[in-house]
Amino acid sequence: MDGWMASKKWVVLALAIPGCIVHKAVGDGPEGSSGTNSATSGDESGDPTAGSAGETAGGLCPDSPQFLCTKPYPCSAETCGGLLSWFDVDGCPRPSCGQPEDCAADEVCFRPFDFGGCQSSAPVCEDDANGECSCGGTADCNGSFCLPADEAPPAQGCYGIADSAACLAANCSEFETVPLLAADCTCTAGAPACLLFATGIGGSAAPSAFFHEVSGDVAIFDTDWLTPPIGWRPCSSEDAPAGCGCWVPGEPIPC
């Protein structure tokens, strides 16, 4: 094991996700290909069904050539079962995939990188010297795994869904109406914001400004998020748009 692990480029999977107030659990640029890597599912031939039958020696997780531990991964509720996590709520790996056909009819092939996550294309877990499940993987973000269709968000993300019911029906995390600031400091009250969180929703109750990475929209939320919704960044970022300068925390919101 030690010699084999040392012969490849490995990184330890980062699974600790900070959280504060958790309401609902909902995951570096990729190297090489776009991330559809069928050889990461099943055996080395790329057959996604190989090794899928049976269970591990511990009898707790489905057998997998990528997961050789005799018991589930020892992760907490904040790190297992989340949208961007390779592990389900029981600490067992979700099936790897390279294309939709690799997953069951009620699942989708989900690529965490498209939503701000980073899943190795070749993760491997084995028992360490202490008998604990230890994981590593190639240092890329090209991995994908099968996710239940009723848990997966829209492929284009949640931004732009203007109706509360449609937002939640699309497996997004939360719908709010917020003040929106334009580059000329024009303020629009009650703008819709459909949000998607990769982890639990948490932060302090304090008005804070964030901007959307694609649209450049600047919104003032009621929460200073520990981890912002996917696609949003704090106005304290160096590359924040001009609208971020239109409001100073602690001062009255201009609309």
Q: What does the domain layout of the chain look like in residue ranges?
A: 1-152, 164-246
In the block, residue with structure tokens 């998607």: 196
| The residue type at 64 | S
* C-alpha 105, offset from chain centre: 22
Q: Across the 255 residues of the chain, what is the mean pLDDT of every consecutive 10-residue run?
A: 34 33 34 35 34 44 89 76 87 92 93 86 92 89 91 84 92 92 93 87 88 91 90 92 92 89
State the Cα angle at 147 between 72 and 211, rounded to 5°: 110
Count of Cβ atoms closer than 10 Å to residue 5 Cβ: 12
Distance CA 158, CA 114 (A): 12
pLDDT at 18: 29
As a whole number, the mean pLDDT across the chain is: 77
Torsion of CA 213, 223, 188, 166, to 10 degrees: 70
- Is 179 in a helix, a strand, or coil? strand
Predicted model pTM: 0.61
Q: Which two tokens stand for residue 242?
A: 């001009």
pLDDT tens column, 90-142: 899 999 999 999 999 999 999 988 887 889 999 999 999 998 899 988 889 99
Question: What tens digit of pLDDT does each residue of 42-64 get?
Answer: 333 333 333 333 344 445 888 88
Residue 57, phi-psi category: left (phi > 0), alpha (psi -120 to 50), beta (remainder): alpha
Helix (H/G/I), strand (E/B), else coil: 2: helix
